[in-house]
């Protein structure tokens, strides 16, 4: 006399439902909806392992559509701004400085510590700056701002540009683009600006994103007519508003464009290797500029 089948995972439960993939009996608790019928948990997991994760047109992960890196960068900049305000000894850390008619904030102990500064003599008589081994300034400076207006302008641009670029590049490639562009802008400040003139701000990276979105959109065959006027307006501000680092903006723009070209035009067969190698070459070139400039200031 035939016996009633029982679930292979729960022997005490009778069932007439079978996995459409392996034909084993499964109870309602174990069955998983599939494109056709139901499958057992093991077959579902096996199917997932055989499916390649979705990638963007440039090899990045599809998680970039959520904008996690963009949101994290904004949160980090806001946190550093709060720390900068907390470190200040005056009420002008938020606004009341000399830039943009007084809208920008003044320097704080934190911005003094992390700003791009080639070489200078501090009030206590010590000599400091990048030329004296404080290379951390080349990275830290892109997360520091002179006041809330400075911060808000850059974070608005990062929010608009970052989400689009992160979605098409993927999280890791977008983060690499942002950091390398910001570093390139800060290196340009170190190389081409007065050694005792400090500079901070995410605008070095932001200008790199401006260049990158133009390159990426052109590579995808999309219309870039709306990007050009915005970029031109920002360049006009760069050259006409006192206190803005021309070297930093242009350095970030050029570095971002070069990195975007590497990401966008890497050959498909060896895309990841080519992109990683291209980013490494850019970093080595920036390192070379820093070494040469340091030798000039200390020689």
Residues marked as catalytic: 203, 249
CA distance 187 to 252: 9
Residue 210 near residue 161 (C-beta atoms within 8 A)? yes
Question: Any idea what the Cα angle at residue 239 is, between residues 238 and 242, rounded to 5°?
Answer: 80
The two structure tokens encoding residue 12: 């005490």
Question: Any idea what the Cα angle at residue 145 is, between residues 143 and 147, rounded to 5°?
Answer: 150
DSSP string for 238-292: HHHSTT--HHHHHHHHHHHHHHHHHHHS--STTHHHHHHHHHHHHHHHHHHHHHH
The two structure tokens encoding residue 83: 């720390």
Helix (H) / strand (E) element for 33: namely strand 32-33
């Amino acid at each position: 006399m035939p016996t009633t089948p029982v679930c292979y995972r729960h022997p005490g439960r009778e069932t007439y439902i079978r996995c459409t993939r392996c034909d084993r009996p499964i109870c309602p608790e174990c069955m998983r909806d599939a494109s056709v019928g139901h499958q057992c948990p093991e077959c579902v997991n096996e199917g997932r392992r055989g499916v390649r994760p979705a990638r963007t047109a440039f090899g990045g992960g599809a998680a970039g559509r959520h904008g996690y890196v963009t949101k994290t960068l904004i949160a980090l900049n806001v946190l550093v701004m709060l720390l900068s305000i907390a470190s200040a000894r005056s009420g002008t850390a938020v606004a009341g400085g000399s830039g943009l008619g007084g809208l920008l904030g003044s320097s704080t102990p934190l911005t003094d510590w992390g700003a791009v500064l080639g070489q200078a003599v501090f009030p206590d008589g010590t000599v400091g700056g990048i030329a004296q081994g404080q290379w951390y300034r080349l990275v830290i400076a892109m997360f520091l701002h002179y006041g809330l207006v400075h911060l808000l302008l850059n974070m608005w641009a990062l929010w608009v540009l970052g989400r689009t670029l992160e979605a098409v590049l993927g999280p890791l490639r977008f983060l690499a683009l942002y950091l390398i562009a910001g570093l390139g802008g800060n290196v340009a400040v170190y190389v081409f600006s007065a050694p005792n003139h400090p500079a901070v701000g995410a605008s070095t990276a932001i200008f790199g994103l401006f260049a990158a979105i133009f390159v990426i959109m052109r590579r995808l065959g999309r219309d870039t007519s709306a990007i050009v006027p915005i970029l031109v307006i920002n360049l006009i501000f760069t050259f006409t508003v006192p206190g803005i680092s021309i070297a930093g903006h242009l350095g970030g723009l050029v570095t971002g464009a070069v990195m975007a070209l590497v990401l966008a035009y890497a050959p498909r067969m060896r895309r990841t290797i080519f992109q990683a190698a291209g980013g490494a070459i850019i970093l080595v070139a920036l390192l070379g500029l820093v070494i040469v400039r340091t030798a000039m200031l200390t020689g």
